[in-house]
Structure 1
């Protein structure tokens, strides 16, 4: 585990096993340290000038620079000084963490930008994550002006994001639905958050017919976790897809490179829970009701079939035309339940499609209330986990028409898309303001995308955490 702290004692720099110095690119094509502090002389600048290949461009780092008068120095490039933002600094800290692996005591000397402390601690801890090796560095952010609150937010956000990443990376045989639900409930109870695990009888009582159907093919029974916190005066309803493994069911996935990482199909439920946990750890009072449906989607003699009809908590019925579109089915149960509850708005999160075609660096979202999308995307931008608001068009509803139920979960004529998944889910929100976030493109990376390695990212925990912190102020 990484021991992370904040200090304004500049003598710490001399005792480091590695000193990280941010640097900017100059108009002349060279590099300069962001500040002379903590030494207040030009010794670092003179050392930096010896590395002719290092120009201070964003994402670049120097070779280890050795001097008789300094600990080993690693300079990281941040680009031009006048274009610095939190995301550049966060990504630079991630690169520094990956590059400094194996060093015992690492100090990051920071004397730039009001947003710097949160970005640096967050980036370093995210960059240090390693599922197999763990995190074992002593890391200090050395800042002339110490902002303890910013440091706490960055440390907690990154630590909980890494907690999500570890859950997502856990082999599916070690994290069946009951084990996952038990972990979420135990974490909640440690933090004073009310938690319930709904078994088959409770699912029947609450009308979660779709969740029961989706999980019917597995020997591991489906469950739902209910998390509740706050007064209920301004309650936000949250839902997160928790498929601990998704084979596709009877509509078995054909692409081996996709089915190989379907352990990650519970990333949304983990991120929603983790955001609530992080906000409570930071002393916020998130007024939330979260419903996290959890199941395995497996083919067997008891599995749900294409053509089956299921009933949701609001009495609406879905014809299942594709068993591999199971995420929207279980989210529909959660949304329908929340729509009948005392919540002022609903946000659901799932790995449903490709995230709206916006790539691996963004999540896509659709809504029936534009102001809710703006609030969410603004929070994501400030947290360094941005999203994109996509239009929701009413004419797509006809593609999900069913002759035997209120709606179908898939269009046999048009194929699938994030737009159609959102169109389906919208119908269960009723009159409540509602937002759907699709993290299918960014929750788990099939290939590395610097500075992120291949694997789980923890998205969109940091965006959701920022939203909860904003609502708690």
Structure 2
């Protein structure tokens, strides 16, 4: 990781390999451009046919520019001045991050565009740089090592240096945790069965000081976790439940987190076609997001208690696999009729939700690549939120908006509950074709009791089919930042 620092020096006087300056749409000068007096940077930008729209950039080498200490200036389009925000900073630097990490020292004025939200913009800038330069090259025979040693954020004297430095550190912690979550999702399923995911969690917990318990297959059977066991019984690689505790809030009720951890989803006996399995290593994206969030929470040390219970099974077809029509008995005794073995994520989450509800939490949040129906409704960039507590749903959505991971609320439409009535069990795991995201959430609701709960369906944004502003093709790590922001926002607050 590069060193992160804050300076109030004049941008033109800061020694750097690259000085990154924003340009507003028009083009209009962004912070720092006027300070470079030896050249009309805005004219150079305009002459290149650029207008300052998001995604535009121009590298201006220092070929003797009077008064400029940097070796070059990187002008990046930010869009309209009125729409400048922390997320605009995250996206602007993320787009050019792969080029910036080839330099040793980078300085930027980007956070200045957000004015009153300077600390949030500083954090977002760090996140954009680190996440935008992320690459998963573990399986490449050769790879290029980033050269970046230092990022200098430049701001005015009136900014609180301690607040900005704290924001830079938060950005580094959150970005590192989200990058780790990406690594977990991008790792081929052959190398990350449930037991290995549990080992990764155990190592992380040891590193950051979390309490960790790994539930083995025998312990799951004794504890009545029939959903986790049922989904995993078709695989030779046994399931696990990862239990993590962060104690930062004294005797206060914890926030409870869980995420779908299907290590590989073949569909089971309701098998997917070949193309449908190509990216199914990503079906543990919810679990990875919870692990990443817990890692960041442990490092940032908010004054709140957090518990995570992360179920992990591999959904495979075999002679021992569950069959359509089988009935599973979940933690707490509720039964579900399995009519489609490819609707397995809700089966393992049901056990985890029931277990978490037993812990007396103030709220439960689950994340899952759960339904294609949510993706049909909201596309590839938005996650869906459904829950039994409007305030909790609103707060989680607000956290997502604040950190550039937007979601949208879908209705937990009560009349649809009858669609998952079973003739022989308490509930069945699929409804009709339409409204699948809603009936899946209604299934999960059966296991949380009266605890405030929100379900985050990340089927769309968890795994990108093409590169975006600050992620390459593959895992995005969404919604790590949302979860961390929500937990931090609850630190020191009273229970509901």
Structure 2 counterpart of 1:102? 102
CA contact (8 A) 2:87 2:121 kept: no
With structure 1 as the length reference, what TM-score do the two structures score?
Answer: 0.93
CA contact (8 A) 1:400 1:409 kept: yes
Deviations 1:128-149 (A, max 9, x none): 1011146542241331244111
Structure 1 distance, partners of 2:29, 2:207, is 47
Shifted more, 199-208 versus 415-424: the winner is 415-424
SS in 1 for 2:181: helix
Deviation (angstroms), 1:215? 0.4
Q: Among residues 48, 64, 69, which one is paired with 1:68 in the alignment?
A: 64
SS in 2 for 1:277: helix
Structure 2 counterpart of 1:32? 29
CA contact (8 A) 2:181 2:291 kept: no
CA RMSD of aligned residues (A): 2.1
SS in 2 for 1:173: helix
> Is 2:138 the partner of 1:127?
no
Q: CA distance change for structure 1 residues 401 and 50 in 2, over 3 Å: closer, same or farther?
A: closer
Q: Among residues 175, 180, 183, which one is paired with 2:197 in the alignment?
A: 180
Structure 1 distance, partners of 2:466, 2:341, is 27
With structure 2 as the length reference, what TM-score do the two structures score?
Answer: 0.89
Structure 2 distance, partners of 1:436, 1:454, is 25
CA contact (8 A) 1:51 1:63 kept: no
Matches within 5 A, 1:230-269: 230=247, 231-254=250-273, 256-269=274-287
SS in 2 for 1:67: coil
Structure 2 distance, partners of 1:46, 1:56, is 10
Deviation (angstroms), 1:36? 3.9
Structure 1 counterpart of 2:41? 45
Q: CA distance change for structure 1 residues 258 and 176 in 2, over 3 Å: closer, same or farther?
A: same
Structure 1 counterpart of 2:6? 7
Structure 2 counterpart of 1:20? 20
Structure 1 distance, partners of 2:398, 2:444, is 23
Q: CA distance change for structure 1 residues 415 and 24 in 2, over 3 Å: closer, same or farther?
A: closer
Q: CA distance change for structure 1 residues 129 and 44 in 2, over 3 Å: closer, same or farther?
A: farther
Unmatched 5+ stretches in structure 1: none
Unmatched 5+ stretches in structure 2: 138-142
Q: Among residues 391, 398, 402, which one is paired with 1:382 in the alignment?
A: 402
Structure 2 distance, partners of 1:370, 1:258, is 35
SS in 2 for 1:15: coil
Q: CA distance change for structure 1 residues 135 and 337 in 2, over 3 Å: closer, same or farther?
A: farther
Q: CA distance change for structure 1 residues 368 and 296 in 2, over 3 Å: closer, same or farther?
A: same
SS in 2 for 1:88: helix
SS in 1 for 2:297: helix
Q: CA distance change for structure 1 residues 259 and 369 in 2, over 3 Å: closer, same or farther?
A: same
Q: CA distance change for structure 1 residues 242 and 136 in 2, over 3 Å: closer, same or farther?
A: farther
Q: CA distance change for structure 1 residues 443 and 4 in 2, over 3 Å: closer, same or farther?
A: farther
Count of residue correspondences: 466
CA contact (8 A) 1:24 1:34 kept: no
Deviation (angstroms), 1:445? 1.1
Structure 2 counterpart of 1:409? 429
Deviation (angstroms), 1:425? 0.6
Deviation (angstroms), 1:102? 2.8
Structure 1 counterpart of 2:140? none
Matches within 5 A, 1:201-220: 201-220=218-237
Q: CA distance change for structure 1 residues 104 and 312 in 2, over 3 Å: closer, same or farther?
A: same
Deviation (angstroms), 1:47? 6.5
CA contact (8 A) 1:241 1:265 kept: yes
CA contact (8 A) 1:31 1:48 kept: no
Structure 2 distance, partners of 1:264, 1:414, is 23
Structure 1 distance, partners of 2:416, 2:46, is 61
CA contact (8 A) 1:364 1:439 kept: yes
